[in-house]
Chains A and B, each alone.
Chain A
Amino acid sequence: MRADRIAAIATTLAVLGLWQAAVWFADAQGLAPAPLGIVAATAKHLANGSLRAALGDSFLRVAKGFVIAIAIGLPLGTAMGMVPALARAIAPFLDGLRAIAPIAWIPIAVLWLGVRGDAAVFIVTYAAVLPLALQAFQAVRLIDRRLIQASQALGGGWALTLWAVILPGSIPVMITAMRVAMGFAWGAIVAAELAVGTKIGPGQGSQGIGQMMIETLYVKRDVDTLAMCMLCVGLVSLAIDAGARALGRRMAPWTQ
C-alpha cells in the first residue's frame, strides 16, 4: 500500500515534469498550458478573488437547481414506485426526455429565462431531476416486499409504512442517485455557462466558472487559466462526491 502510494506520487511528478519540459522545449508557452503556468494563474486568481467568486456563483446555481430537482424528482419517483399505474403512465415519458441531452435545452432555456443565470439553473434542474426520479422509482420498487408486509402485519397503515419503511429503505439508493445526479448537475452547469456566456461580452452574463473560461478564451487568451478552470471543475466534482458519501454514511448508519 505504501509502495503503491509512492509509485503513484512518483508517476504524477514525472508526468508533470515531462509536461513542463515539453512545453519549454517546444517553446509553446501561451499556446499550451504548463504546470508552472497553472500554479501562477491559480495564485493570481486566488489573490484577486475571481476564482472564488466564479466557483461560488457556479456552485450556488448548482445548489439551487439541485434543490428544485430533489423537490420534484424524489416525490415523483417515490409516488411512481408506490402506484404502479402512475409509473406505467409516466416512466416512458421520462425515459424519452432523458434521451434529450440537457445542453440541447440551452437555446430554449435562454429564450424563456434569459442569459443571467436562470437558464443555467434550469439546465441543472433538468439534468438532475430525471436520474433522481427514475432512481427513486427503482429504489421504492426494490424494497423487500416482506418488509412492507411486516409493517402491515404489525398494524402499520400506509403513512407509517411510507415514513418508517419505504423512505428509509430507499435512502441508500437515493444517496447514490444524488451523487450521480450531482455529477450530472455540475457537468451541466459548466456546459450551460459556457454556452450562455458566448452570447455576452466580458463582465456580463452568467458569471460562474464557465463564464470565466469563455472570457479567458475570447478576451484574455490565457491557456494556463483555462487549464486552471478545468482542474477546478474536476476538484469540485471530487469534493461533491466525497461530501455525498459522507452524507450517506450519516443518513444510513445501518449500512455500515
Chain B
Amino acid sequence: MDTVISLSLARIAIEGVGKTWQGRRGAVEALRGIDLAVGAGEFVSVVGPSGCGKSTLLSLVAGFATPSTGSVRVDGQEVTGPSPERGVMFQDYALFPWRTVAENIAFGPQARGVPRRERRDIADRLIALVGLDGFEDRYPNELSGGMRQRCALARMLANDPAVWLMDEPLAALDPQTRIVMQDELLRIWGDEREAAQRRSVLFVTHGIDEAVHLADRVVVLARRPGRIRAVIDIDLPRPRAPHRNAPEAARLVAEIWALIRDEAVDAIREET
C-alpha cells in the first residue's frame, strides 16, 4: 500500500483543513493544516490523545460542520453538508429510540423514497448480515450494547454508502464484545474479499490496537491544535482475524503508542 495516494485517485481528499470552533470562552483551534487522502476501498484509522480533534475531522467529512480553512472533497465534490453517500456511525449509535430495529435500518431507504416492501427486504437482508435475526421488532433500549452497534452498522449500510465514517463505534462495548465486533466489521467490510469490493472507511478510535487490527493505514494526530503527527502503513495480510496477536501487530502498536504517549499523559493530567 502506498503511503501517499494522489489526491486525484482519492475518494476522500482533505486538503489544508483547519477548524476553529467559536465557543463561549473564545475560539478553540481544533485542527490545523490537515492533509489526508483516503483511497477507494481503503480502511484508514485515526488515533490520537484526547482533544486531538479526531471527531472534528470526521464531522467535517460527514458535512455536519464546515472547515475554517482548506477543503474536504469526496469523489471530487466539495462537501457542503451531510449526504447519504457518506454513511456515518456515531459513538453512542444515535439510533432512533422510537423506531424498532427494522424501522431504524429502513430509515435511509425511506428517506430516498424506496417503496415500503423493498425497504422491508433491505432491512431483512441487513438484519441477517449483522446477525440481528429475531430482534427486528425490538426498540433500541431493549437491546444490548453489541446489538445496538450491529443495528447502527446495518442502518448505515442500508444506503450502501461509498464512504463509511465511523466515530469510535466500538468504544462503548465491553472488551470481548469489541474483539468480536472488530472481526465482524472487517467481514462485512470485505476483509476476506477482493479490495475492489470494499468501501472507503475513515475510522476514529481511542484504541491503538483496534486501529492497527482494522486499518490499512493509521493516522496519528497530535493535539492542541490537532495536526497529523505520522501516518503508519499497516502491512499485515488480510483477512486480519488470525493476525490479531502477531508480533508485527504488537510492534506497530508499540511504535504508535510511543508517538502518542507523552501527549496522552498531558491530556489525562489536564482532564483530572
Residues of chain A touching chain B, judged by Cβ–Cβ distance below 8 Å, are: 144, 146-147, 149-157, 160, 164-165, 168-169, 171, 252-255
Contacting pair B98 A150 (CB below 8 A): no
- Do A150 and B88 touch (CB < 8 A)? yes
Q: Do A154 and B107 have beta carbons less than 8 Å apart?
A: yes
Residue in A157, A164, A252 whose Cβ sees the most chain B Cβ within 10 Å: A164
Cβ-based interface call for B82 (8 A): yes
Complex Cα distance, B141 from A253, in Å, reads 11
Please, how many angstroms separate the alpha-carbon atoms of A154 and B82 in the complex? 8
Q: Are B94 and A154 in contact (CB under 8 A)?
A: no
Q: Which residues from A are CB-within-8-Å of B140? A: 254
Q: What are 21 A-to-B residue pairs whose CB atoms are below 8 Å?
A: A146-B90, A146-B94, A147-B96, A149-B62, A149-B64, A149-B82, A151-B107, A152-B82, A153-B63, A153-B84, A153-B87, A154-B107, A154-B108, A154-B159, A155-B112, A164-B99, A165-B96, A168-B96, A254-B140, A254-B141, A255-B97
Nearest CB of B to A151, in Å: 7
Residues of B within 8 A of A154 (CB): 84, 87, 107-108, 111, 155-156, 158-159
Checking B83, B96, B110, B112 against A150 with a beta-carbon cut-off of 8 angstroms, the contacting residue is B96
B86 at the A interface (CB under 8 A): yes
Does B135 sit at the interface, judged by CB under 8 A? no
Contact of B111 among A144, A156, A254 (CB under 8 A): A156
Residues of A within 8 A of B95 (CB): 150
Shortest CB–CB separation between residue A175 and chain B, in angstroms?
A: 13
Q: Is the interface of B mostly helix, strand, loop or mixed?
A: loop
| A160/B88 in contact, CB under 8 A | no
Interface string of B11-25 (1 = CB under 8 A from A): 000000000000000
**Beyond the given A154-B156, A254-B140, could you list 10 further A-B residue pairs with CB under 8 A, ordered by the A residue number?**
A150-B90, A152-B82, A153-B64, A153-B86, A155-B112, A164-B99, A164-B110, A165-B96, A169-B97, A171-B98
In the bound complex, how far is the Cα of B107 from the Cα of A129, in angstroms?
Answer: 33
Question: B139 within 8 Å of A by Cβ?
Answer: yes
* Alpha-carbon separation in the docked complex, A253 to B140 (Å): 12
Is the CB–CB distance between B111 and A149 below 8 Å? no
Q: How far is the CB of A41 from the nearest CB of chain B, in Å?
A: 47
A157 / chain B contacts, CB cutoff of 8 Å: 111
- Closest beta carbon of chain A to B271's beta carbon, Å: 22
Q: Could you tell me the distance in whole angstroms from the C-beta of A149 to the nearest C-beta in chain B?
A: 5
Q: Which 9 A-B pairs have the closest CB atoms?
A: A155-B84, A155-B111, A152-B82, A154-B108, A146-B94, A168-B98, A153-B88, A150-B94, A254-B139
A160, B64: Cα distance in complex, Å: 18
- Interface membership of B92, Cβ < 8 A: yes
Is A147's CB under 8 angstroms from B94's CB?
A: yes
The distance in angstroms between the C-alpha atoms of A168 and B81, with both chains bound, is 24
In the docked arrangement, what's the CA distance between A190 and B111, Å? 48
Among the listed A153, A164, A253, A255, which residue makes an inter-chain contact with B62, where contact means beta carbons less than 8 Å apart? A153
Give Cα A165 to B97, complex, Å: 9
Write out the residue numbers on chain A whose beta carbons fall within 8 Å of the beta carbon of B94. Answer: 144, 146-147, 149-150
Min CB gap B94→A, angstroms: 4
Check if A252 sits within 8 Å of B107, measured CB to CB: no
Question: Closest CB-CB distance, A227 to chain B, in whole Å?
Answer: 45
Chain A residues with CB below 8 A from B98, complex form? 168-169, 171, 252, 254
Contacts of B87 in A (CB 8 A): 153-154
